[in-house]
Amino acid sequence: MKYGEKIIKEFDIEKDLEIWENAHKKSYTIKITLPEFACLCPRSGYPDFAAIYIEYIPNEWVVELKALKLYINSFMTKHISHEASANEIYDTLWRKLKPKWLKITADFNPRGNVHTLIEIDSQKIEKLP
């Protein structure tokens, strides 16, 4: 196994998703594009490809970009649906960063004549009591 494969295979979200203290107290938006997302269809095992767009207004924490890249690459060998992968990324970043606002867009490439676009926006999610 090559070193990159080993790092991705052994990636542990709890210890390896590095976050940094946000040194700026004003509100500003961070936009990140991850154009080479890949995962495996849970039914067929065929690969699915997407661009993941992350936008957030940080509160106390920002995500370190190399750690985010490794996290996203860890999906390459997961059998996971489009919806589940987008929601997992959202839930992980929401839990770890506790941002003021977060939006994830997963734009999956067409397969079998179907295009999927999944958006999760913290301003549109119904807050549970």
- CA 67 to chain CA centroid, nearest Å: 11
Structure tokens given for 30:
């961070």
Position 53 pLDDT exceeds 70: yes
pLDDT band at 70 (very low <50, low <70, confident <90, very high): very high
Structure tokens given for 126:
């119904």
pLDDT band at 1 (very low <50, low <70, confident <90, very high): confident
User: pLDDT value at position 111?
Assistant: 83
User: pLDDT value at position 108?
Assistant: 97
Segment 69-92 mean pLDDT:
97
| From 12, 16, 39, 48, the catalytic residue | 48
For the chain, percent of residues with pLDDT exceeding 90 = 84
User: pLDDT value at position 125?
Assistant: 81
pLDDT band at 83 (very low <50, low <70, confident <90, very high): very high
pLDDT band at 112 (very low <50, low <70, confident <90, very high): confident
Contacts of 36 (CB under 8 A, 6+ apart): 49, 51
| From 16, 39, 41, 91, the catalytic residue | 41
Cα dist. 81→20, 54, 61, 64, 108 in Å?
Answer: 30, 18, 28, 26, 11
For the chain, percent of residues with pLDDT exceeding 70 = 97
41 is catalytic: yes
For the chain, domain boundaries = 3-109+117-121
pTM of the model as a whole: 0.92
Position 129 pLDDT exceeds 80: no
Q: Which fold has domain 3-109+117-121?
A: GTP Cyclohydrolase I, domain 2 (3.30.1130)
